[in-house]
Amino acid sequence: MSSKIDLDNLTYLKGVQSYREFVEKEFLNILESVSGKKAIIIDPDLVGALSLILEIPVLKEHNVDKLIPLSSEPFKTQIKKLVFLVRPQMSSMKKVADQIIQHEQNQTKKDSVEQNFYVFFVPRVTIICKKILEQLGVSGSVIYGEFHLDLIPFDEDVYSLANEKAFRDYVLGDISSLYYVSRALVNIQSFIGIIPEIYYMGKHSKILSEMLLRMRQESDLDDSLTPQVKYLLIVDRENDLLTPMVTQLNYEGMIDELYGISHTLAELDPNVLGKEGKIEKEKMVLNSNDLLFSELRDLNMALVAPFLVKKARSVSSQYDTRKQARNIGDLKNFIKKLPNIQREHASLGTHISLTMDIGAKTTGNSDFLERLDYELNLLVESQQCDDYIEDCIAQQKDLISVLRILCLQSMVIGGFKNKKFDFFRNEIIQTYGYRHVFTLDSLEKLGMLKKSEGRSKRGFAQIRKSMDLIDENYENTKHFSSVHSGYAPQIIKLAQILFNPKQGYNVFQDLVHNFYTEDVGRQKQKISIQAKEEMKEITEKPVCMVFFVGGVTFAEISAIRILNQMEQTDVHFVIGTTHITNGNKIIESTFEKVEDNILKKKKDEFLRNKKIKLREKQQEQLQKQLLKKEKQEKGKKKN
């Protein structure tokens, strides 16, 4: 059933709750530390995160008059106190500096009164950023602070650093963001207690786990807290880049594929939600507060519609109880339930409209079905689809979707033959442009696209067989492979193996070692004897946080939730991640952003010139008309 019910009584929630409260309180303290009216200028990146920890009306209560997205564009305001809320990134610093300098210049009239500028870094101030601000000439008039929001509670069981750049950084060989991941994990341990056992697989995971241990020594973490999370399994996206290439077929994953979900928000056309007469996009919140959604999110798309039908019947039968009401008491009972029924009714309406729109875009679309067919054939039988890919390129279909299937095939069959490899790459460059040499190079470096090197023992076919990844019967039994219609996400499978009492660490280690990476291991963190004793008294299933370095997909999140319900493991899983990702985002992160700008600039310039010319023309015409009129009038007068 819904994941919410399962989690209600978990001890770990207490720690997590206190972390949540701490973050919210810290933010309110920041607001209070700046007395009087203020405007918040916020990194657009952070708006979503902020909305997850508090509600916008709360800002008004704390004298926040405006919430302005950070940019270099000047804006005018009467508000004296400007609070910047920014990520510690070099690019943001320039914008902060621009704003401060502009506002200082506007203040020349009241010469000696300083404007009040506050810059809060999220989650931490860096020396570099301060230095850059200093170089840009603003530091003197600024008060600095920190807002320690690193892991953002996306839901009761999902915690994300929301660092969308994490994967791109790894692509470029920059692993510095691991340091901040480590800080975040140390930080959360001061709320949920020290996690006694750490497992890791993958290069980055290994570095991270070592960093965690060292950082714990440096910080004075309280080891007397009862550990509320017993295991931490750190996994590396790099070891399974195949799964994200596969189309996500669970409800939430599908919404992400089709419309995109950012910080639990999906921006949808109003007609998708069945609201007519509106033009502006609607933001739909997708989390477990919507009870219906929490039941739907993990279901395979094929099961969503039948489920909704069942639900609709139950709602209408609830309405019917009114007719059966025999006396005032019955009626009173009904009225009591009414708000709940109505809420459920509204939510049901929204999800039905959404499901219909998804249906039209998927099962009602032969392109989509064709694509799915090829994907499944690849996954299940390693059946190649060169012609299909070639066709897609010839038809100049969206490059991201082309690369997704191309990479999927490359990873499934262990690479293309020399000639094919060059052929596809050439086709892509000729069709989509020269700048994609970088895209192809990055994909190659990541091992997502490669030349075959004969038969490899580590091939996907072997993995599929050894780990039993394909389950054709997913529709009848509850199995997490349903999120990809029969293909089980590899990392989730490995987590299942690790915590399955019949398999365990040794099996896990062998598998990882044989098929994925040499970097696999486990480490223990010391906890106090008292904490150890207290931990023994916990009767619930211990909690394991699976932390995805480099991103997790919604399908994988759902797979983990289903795994929790399958009752085959000794632990209850929750999820931590650097960010939530999908195939499109991964492919896109390999794009070099150079030429885009030029083209856009040229286009902008072109349009601007066009506009100017148009305006000039209009003015000319106007003047001509005026002249004409004048002449006519003069003529009249003469007459």
Footprint of another protein (CB under 8 A) = 35-36, 88, 108, 110-114, 116, 126-128, 131, 143, 172-179, 182, 207, 211, 214-215, 218, 220, 390, 393-396, 422, 425-427, 429-435, 437-438, 441, 592, 594-595, 597-599, 601-602, 606
> Which residue blocks in 71-138 are alpha helix, DSSP H?
90-106, 127-135
Residue nearer to another protein on the CB measure, 1 or 113: 113
**Quick check: helix, strand or coil at residue 95?**
helix
Single out the residue of 219, 155, 212, 205 nearest to residue 175, CA to CA.
205
Q: Which helix (H) or strand (E) holds 565?
A: helix 554-566
- The DSSP symbol for 141 reads G
The burial of 53, by beta-carbon neighbours within 10 Å (0-12 exposed, 13-18 middle, 19 or more buried), is given as middle
Q: Shortest distance, CB of residue 513 to another protein, whole angstroms? A: 24
Write down the least CB distance from residue 527 to another protein, Å. Answer: 18
CB 317 → another protein: shortest distance, Å? 35
Nearer to another protein, 325 or 393 (CB): 393
In DSSP terms, which residues pair with 268 in a beta bridge? Answer: 282
- Among 219, 223, 233, 192, smallest CA distance to 526 is for 223
By C-beta, is 214 or 624 nearer to another protein? 214
Q: State the nearest-atom distance from the C-beta of 65 to another protein, in Å.
A: 14
Instruction: Pull the structure tokens for residue 631.
Output: 């002449």
For another protein, the closer of residues 211 and 242 by Cβ is 211
Quick one: 8 or 387, whose CB is closer to another protein? Answer: 387
CB of residue 88 to another protein, shortest distance in Å: 8
d(CA 482, CA 248): 10
Q: Let me know: does 132 contact 89? Beta carbons within 8 Å.
A: no
Q: Which stretches of 87-210 are assigned E, i.e. beta strand?
A: 116-121, 142-146, 152-155, 158-160, 197-201
What is the phi-psi region of residue 514: left when phi exceeds 0, alpha when psi lies from -120 to 50, beta otherwise?
alpha
C-beta closer to another protein: residue 282 or 427: 427
Sheet (strand 142-146) strand order: 64-69, 38-42, 81-86, 116-121, 142-146
| Nearer to another protein (CB atom), residue 306 or residue 364 | 364
Of 367 and 630, nearer to another protein (C-beta) is 367
Residue 363: CB minimum distance to another protein, A: 17
Nearer to another protein, 327 or 597 (CB): 597
Measured CA to CA in angstroms, residue 93 lies from 18, 146, 150, 267, 359 at distances of: 32, 15, 19, 29, 44
Checking DSSP bridges between strand 142-146 and strand 520-524, what pairing results, if any?
unpaired
CB 598 to another protein: min, Å: 4
Output the smallest distance, CB 182 to another protein, in A. Answer: 8
Name the maximum alpha-carbon separation found in the chain: 112
Looking at the Cβ atoms of 460 and 547, the one nearer to another protein is 547
- CB of residue 231 vs another protein: minimum separation in angstroms? 24
Whether the CA torsion 240, 245, 248, 249 is positive or negative: it is negative
Minimal distance in Å, beta carbon 429 to another protein?
5
The CA distance from 203 to 173, in Å, is: 12
- To the nearest 10°, report the CA torsion of 171, 175, 180, 184: 80
